Amino acid sequence: MRILSLAPIFVIAMETNFEADVALARRLALETGTIVMDFYRRRVEVQYKAGEEPVTEADRAASEFIVAELRRERPDDTVISEEGDDDSLRQTAHRVWFIDPIDGTKEFIAHNGEFSIMIGLCVDGIPTVGAVFQPTVDRLWYATPSAAVVEHDGNVHSLRVSGHDQLSDFNMISSRSHRNVVLMEARKRLGILSPELTSGSGGIKLGIIAEARADVMFSPSDNSKLWDMCAPEAILRAAGGIVTDFQGHRLDYRRAELRNMNGVVASNGTRHADVIALVRDLFPHPAEQASKASS
């Protein structure tokens, strides 16, 4: 497998204030890809965290490398990794890095290639810089607020979501590992006719929307965490898309709760409000769930 060159390629002018940050995120994603692929080629031990979520030595090694590098390069920033401890400073800190060293560990274990390395930076609670790398196919997405790009096979292309504005024309991308009736009902309500796309990693799914190869994604679960969305949200928003919860609210990266309790909806942005209106009752706010349960 050929890992992309570590020399930064910027064919699109990046926002001056974040050039160094996106270059750092890009470099670390690529270097972590080399570490992860070394584990991928051999058998790794699988353990389980709370919630029966799998974790491997590859997850831990990747996390240790990224966290150590970020703390060395950005000593004043707060760093939060899936494989580390939470830090209450992230609720008030100016700059917070959210790291998912292997997004799609189940896919890593299954050897289907649908996992990614995700490194995102929130500035004042807003996803601002993101890098998502799928090392099995040398595909790298990265962005600042002013530009989003994808590198693949030695080529660099700017990212822009599709202009599809008829819901029936939307292409829907969903999780390979987490399936439920909500996804089928959402597809039915939108009147989507095209075959459904699937991928394991949320970062890959949002990257595919940013590339205009899909238009909408639903994650009707409270299992995803802030590190699952920070980097891909920065990329998708820079490409013109939108990420909210099922109630249409932006994700709050400064809240105490790490989980995305209200699920996640991502789209190309052309009809996002209409999409939310059609699906918001499929994954109601926890307060609404409690109210229904008591009635």
CATH code (residue 94): 3.30.540.10
Q: What is the pTM of this model?
A: 0.90
Return the closest-CA partner of residue 151 out of 235, 32, 234. 235
| Burial tier of 295 (Cβ tally within 10 Å: 0-12, 13-18, 19+) | exposed
Give the number of domains in the chain.
Answer: 2
Tokens of 53: 């979520």
């920070």: which residue's tokens?
A: 230
CA–CA separation, 144 vs 238, rounded Å? 7
CB 265 within 8 A of CB 173: no
Half-sphere exposure of 92 (CA within 13 A, CB side): 2
* Chosen domain end from 158, 186, 209: 158
* Chosen domain end from 108, 128, 158: 158
What is residue 44's predicted lDDT score, i.e. its pLDDT?
87
CA–CA separation, 276 vs 30, rounded Å? 35
**Greatest pairwise CA separation for the chain in angstroms:** 60
Q: What are phi and psi of 152, to 5 degrees?
A: -160, 135
Q: What are phi and psi of 7, to 5 degrees?
A: -70, 125
The answer to whether residues 145 and 179 belong to one domain is no
CA–CA separation, 219 vs 264, rounded Å? 5
CA–CA separation, 26 vs 130, rounded Å? 8
CA–CA separation, 32 vs 162, rounded Å? 30
Q: Which amino acid is at 134?
A: Q
Local structure of residue 196 (DSSP, 8 states): P
The answer to whether residues 121 and 144 belong to one domain is yes
CATH code (residue 259): 3.40.190.80
The answer to whether residues 185 and 244 belong to one domain is yes
Tokens of 50: 């709370």
Tokens of 196: 């459904």
Return the closest-CA partner of residue 117 out of 34, 38, 6, 56. 34
CA–CA separation, 214 vs 237, rounded Å? 15
pLDDT tens track, the chain, 295 positions: 444 444 444 443 444 479 999 999 999 999 999 999 999 998 888 888 876 788 999 999 999 999 999 999 999 999 999 999 999 999 999 999 999 999 999 999 999 999 999 999 999 999 999 999 999 999 999 999 999 999 998 899 999 999 999 999 999 999 876 667 899 999 999 999 998 899 889 999 999 999 999 999 999 988 899 999 999 999 999 999 999 999 999 999 999 999 999 999 999 999 999 999 999 999 986 545 444 444 4
The answer to whether residues 117 and 179 belong to one domain is no
The answer to whether residues 112 and 171 belong to one domain is no
What is residue 294's predicted lDDT score, i.e. its pLDDT?
40
* Chosen domain end from 158, 176, 209: 158
Beta strands in the chain (DSSP E): 46-48, 54-56, 78-81, 95-103, 116-123, 126-134, 139-144, 147-152, 155-158, 173-175, 197-199, 216-219, 242-244, 264-267
The answer to whether residues 126 and 195 belong to one domain is no
Tokens of 290: 């409690």
Q: Are strands 264-267 and 242-244 parallel, antiparallel or unpaired?
A: antiparallel
Residue 186's domain spans which residues?
A: 167-294
- 3-state DSSP assignment of residue 37: helix
The answer to whether residues 218 and 256 belong to one domain is yes
CA–CA separation, 221 vs 169, rounded Å? 25
Instruction: Kindly state whether residue 120 falls inside one of the protein's structural domains.
Output: yes
